[in-house]
Structure 1
Amino acid sequence: MRAVVRRDRQLICEEIGELEPAEGQVLVRTLACGICGSDLHALHHMERLVDLGRRGGSPDNGFDPAADTVFGHEFCAEILDHGPRSAKAMKAGTRVVSVPITLTTGGMEALGFSNRLPGGFAERMLLSEALILEVPNGLPTEMAALTEPFAVGLHAVAKARMDASSVALVVGCGPVGLAVIAALKVAGHGPVIACDYSPRRRAAAERLGADVVIDPANESPHDRWEGFGVPKSRAAQQMTRMMGATFGRPVVFECVGAPGVLQELIEAAPAGSQIIVAGVCMEADRIEPSIAVTKEIELTFVFGYTPEEFAATLHNVAEGRIDVSGLVTGRVGLEGVAAAFTALSDPEAHVKILVAPEL
C-alpha cells in the first residue's frame, strides 16, 4: 500500500508493507487525516521531540526517531476487516475515529509516532477495536477528522479554573487556539478575547465565536481587561473588593508555543491570572518567576486529552455545538503531502490541510 514516509527529514511517498489485523484490532481505510503542527515540528526536529518526551516521562515503546515513520494522528477512517476473535460491534464500511493509539502485544503504539505501525498518511491503518468510535449523525468525513485537534482545546479548557464571570484571552489562533475558543464557547464561557497577527486566523476565531478579535500589531489585548471589569493590579483588585464589587477570574490561554511568549504574558496579564500553557515550545525558554510570584500568577501546563474528552468532542462536532465548517482550507493526496507541509508555514495560506489518500 502507499504511504508518506518520514526518512532523513524528508517526506517520501512510496509503497510499504500490507497490514494484517491481530486480535482486538481492525483494519481501516484512511479517508482523511489532518496535518498537525506537531507533524511540522517532527519533520525536522523529531530527535528533539522524542528526547523532550522521554525526559518528561512519556512512554515511547522503543521508538527510534531516525527510523522510518508514517505521520498522521488526526483521522477519520472506514472499517475494512476485523482481527481474530473480535467483537465486530461495528461492521465493515462503518466510518470511525479513534484516539491515535493502537494496542498491541508489545504495548501501545502512538499512531503517527511509531516505527511499527503507520499513521493516517497511509492508505490503511490498524486501530484497536476497543478504542474506535462510530461517526454519528451522518457527520461529513472531513469534519469528523477534526475531532482529535479539537479535543485538545476541550482538555485545555477543562484544566482552567474559570468562574461564571471569567474573562478568557486566547493568544494565538492557530489550530490549538481555535480549538480552545470553540471549547470555551461550547461550555458557555465569555467574553472570549482572541488575538493573532494573521487576518485569516482572526477570521476563523470570529467564526468559532470569539467575542473580541484583536490584531496585536495594532492593539495589546491586555488593554481590554479593564473594559470587561477586570482590574489589572493587585491594588486595584483589592480596592474593587473593598467597594463591594466582584470580577471574574482572568484566564489566559497561551497557544503560540514560541520562546518569550510566556514571559510576556506573565508581565502583561492581570494579577491573579491563570495562564494555561497549551502551545508547545520546543526550545529552552526563560521566565522571571519573581514577577509571577508578586502577581500570584498561576501557570498550568496541559497536554493531549482524555478518551472521554475525545468522545465528547466528537459529539459536540456532530451535534453542531462546535461548527468546524470552513476550517479545512486544503486537500491533498499522498503525493502532495510534502508540498502541503511547506504551504502550512504561511498562516495566511491555510488553516487546516487534510490528507486524503484516495486523491
Structure 2
Amino acid sequence: MRAVVRREKRLVCDEIPELQPAEGQALVRTLACGICGSDLHALHHMEHMIELTRRAGGGDNGFDPSADTVFGHEFCAEVLDFGPGTPRRLKAGARVVSIPVTMTASGVEMLGFSNRLPGGFSECMLLSEAMLLEVPNGLPTDHAAMTEPFAVGLHAVAKARLEPKSVCLVVGCGPVGLAVIAALKAQGHGPVIAADFSPRRRAAAERLGADVLVDPAVEDPHGRWEAFGVPKARAAQQMVRMMGGGFARPVVFECVGAPGVLQNLIEAAPAGAQIVVAGVCMETDRIEPSIAITKEIELTFVFGYTPEEFALTLRRLAEGVVDVSHLVTGRVSLSEVAGAFDALGDPEAHVKIVVDPTA
C-alpha cells in the first residue's frame, strides 16, 4: 500500500507492506489526516525530539528516529476488518477516530512516531479496537480529524486555574492557540484576547470566539489588562484589595513554542498571572526566575490530553459547540504531502492542511 515515508529527512511517497490486524486490533482505511506542527518539526529534527523525550523519561518502545517513519496522528478512518478474537463492536464501514496509540504484542506504538506501524499518512492503519470512537451526528470527515489537535487545547484549558471572570490572553493563534480559544469559549470563559502577527490566524481566532484580536506588530497584547479590570503591578493589585475590590485571575496561554517567548511573558504579564505553556519549544531557552518570583508568576507546562478530553472534544465537534468548518484550508493527496509541508511554512497560506490518502 502507499504511504508517505520520512526517509533521510525527506518525505517520499512509496510502497510499504500491507497490514494484518492482530487480536484486539482493527484494520482501517485512512480517510483524512491533518498535518501537525510537530510533523513539520520532526521532518528535520526527529533525532533531537526523541532525545528530549527520552531525557524526560518518556517511553518510545525502541523507536529509531533514523529509520523509516510514516507520520500522521490527527486522523479519521473507516473500519475495514478486525483481527482474530476481537469483539467487533463496530461494523465495517464505520468512521472512527482514536487516540494515536496502538497496543501490540511488543508494546505500545505511538502512531506517527513508530518504525513498526504507519501513521495517518498511509492508505491503511492498525488501531486498537478498544480505543475506537465512532464519529457521530454525520460529522464531516475533515472535521472529525480535528479531534486530536483540539483535544490538546482542551487539556491546556483544563490545567488552567480559571475563575468565572478570568481574563485570558492566548499568545499565538496557530492550531494549538486556536484549539485553546475554542475550548475556552466552549466552556463559557471570557474575555479572551488573541494575539498573532498573522491576519489569517487572527481571523480564524475571531471565528472561534476570541473577543479581542491584537496584532503584536501594532499593539502590545499586554496593554489590554487594565481595560478588563486587571491591574498589572503587584502594588496596584494590593491597593484594589485593600479598598475592598477584586479582580479575576489573569491567565496567559503560551502557544508559540519559540525561544524567548516565555521570558517575555514573565516580564509582561500581570503579577500573579498563571502562564500555561502549551507551545513546545524544542530548543534550549533562558528565563530569569527572579522576575517570576518577584511577580509570583505561576508556570504550568502541559502536554497531550486524557482519553476523556479526547472523547469530549469529539462530542463538542459533533454537536456544533466547536465549529472547525473554516479551518481546513487545503487538502492534498499522498503524492502532494511534501509540498504541503513547504506551504505550511507561511502562516498566511494555510491554517490546516488535511491529507487524503484515498485521493
Give the TM-score, by structure 2 length.
1.00
User: Counterparts of 1:172 and 1:333 in 2: how far apart (Å)?
Assistant: 28
Q: SS state of the match for residue 130, structure 1? A: helix
User: Counterparts of 1:15 and 1:164 in 2: how far apart (Å)?
Assistant: 53
Q: Which residue of 2 aligns with 1:70?
A: 70
- CA RMSD of superposed structures (Å): 0.3
Q: Which residue of 2 aligns with 1:278?
A: 278
What is the deviation of 1:198? 0.2
What is the deviation of 1:328? 0.1
Q: Deviations over 1:305-357 (max 9, x none)?
A: 00100000000000000010110000000000000000000000000000001
Q: SS state of the match for residue 29, structure 2? A: strand
Q: Which residue of 2 aligns with 1:54?
A: 54
User: Counterparts of 2:278 and 2:40 in 1: how far apart (Å)?
Assistant: 17
Q: Deviations over 1:268-302 (max 9, x none)?
A: 00000000000000100000000000000000000
User: Counterparts of 1:349 and 1:326 in 2: how far apart (Å)?
Assistant: 14
What is the deviation of 1:358? 1.3
Amino acid across the alignment from 1:356: D
1:93 maps to 2:93: yes
Q: Which residue of 2 aligns with 1:173?
A: 173
Q: Which residue of 2 aligns with 1:116?
A: 116
Q: Deviations over 1:115-152 (max 9, x none)?
A: 00000000000000000100000100000000000000
Q: Which moved more, 1:237-246 or 1:68-77?
A: 237-246
Q: Deviations over 1:61-119 (max 9, x none)?
A: 00000000000000000000010011110000000000000000111000000000000
1:268 maps to 2:268: yes
What is the deviation of 1:18? 0.2
1:205 maps to 2:205: yes
| Count of aligned residue pairs for this structure pair | 359
User: Counterparts of 2:188 and 2:56 in 1: how far apart (Å)?
Assistant: 33
Q: Which residue of 2 aligns with 1:352?
A: 352
Structure 1 consecutive aligned stretches of length 4 or more whose deviation exceeds 6 Å:
none
Q: Which residue of 2 aligns with 1:153?
A: 153
User: Counterparts of 2:226 and 2:265 in 1: how far apart (Å)?
Assistant: 16
What is the deviation of 1:165? 1.1
Amino acid across the alignment from 2:142: E
User: Counterparts of 2:325 and 2:215 in 1: how far apart (Å)?
Assistant: 23
Q: Which residue of 2 aligns with 1:39?
A: 39
User: Counterparts of 1:57 and 1:209 in 2: how far apart (Å)?
Assistant: 37
Amino acid across the alignment from 1:329: T
Amino acid across the alignment from 2:21: P
1:13 maps to 2:13: yes
Q: Which residue of 2 aligns with 1:83?
A: 83
Amino acid across the alignment from 1:105: A
Amino acid across the alignment from 1:269: A
User: Counterparts of 2:78 and 2:210 in 1: how far apart (Å)?
Assistant: 34
User: Counterparts of 2:270 and 2:58 in 1: how far apart (Å)?
Assistant: 33
Amino acid across the alignment from 2:100: P
Amino acid across the alignment from 2:267: E
User: Counterparts of 1:206 and 1:189 in 2: how far apart (Å)?
Assistant: 15
Q: Which residue of 2 aligns with 1:319?
A: 319
Can you give the 5+ residue segments of structure 1 that lack an aligned partner in the other structure? none
Q: Which residue of 2 aligns with 1:144?
A: 144
Amino acid across the alignment from 2:91: K
Amino acid across the alignment from 1:138: G
- % of aligned pairs identical? 77
Q: SS state of the match for residue 213, structure 1? A: strand
What is the deviation of 1:58? 1.0
1:105 maps to 2:105: yes
What is the deviation of 1:154? 0.2
User: Counterparts of 1:321 and 1:290 in 2: how far apart (Å)?
Assistant: 41
User: Counterparts of 2:278 and 2:57 in 1: how far apart (Å)?
Assistant: 18
User: Counterparts of 2:39 and 2:32 in 1: how far apart (Å)?
Assistant: 15
1:287-298 equivalences under 5 Å are 287-298=287-298
User: Counterparts of 2:164 and 2:358 in 1: how far apart (Å)?
Assistant: 47
Q: Which residue of 1 aligns with 2:30?
A: 30
What is the deviation of 1:210? 0.2
Q: SS state of the match for residue 323, structure 1? A: coil
User: Counterparts of 1:124 and 1:285 in 2: how far apart (Å)?
Assistant: 39
What is the deviation of 1:243? 1.1
Amino acid across the alignment from 2:309: E
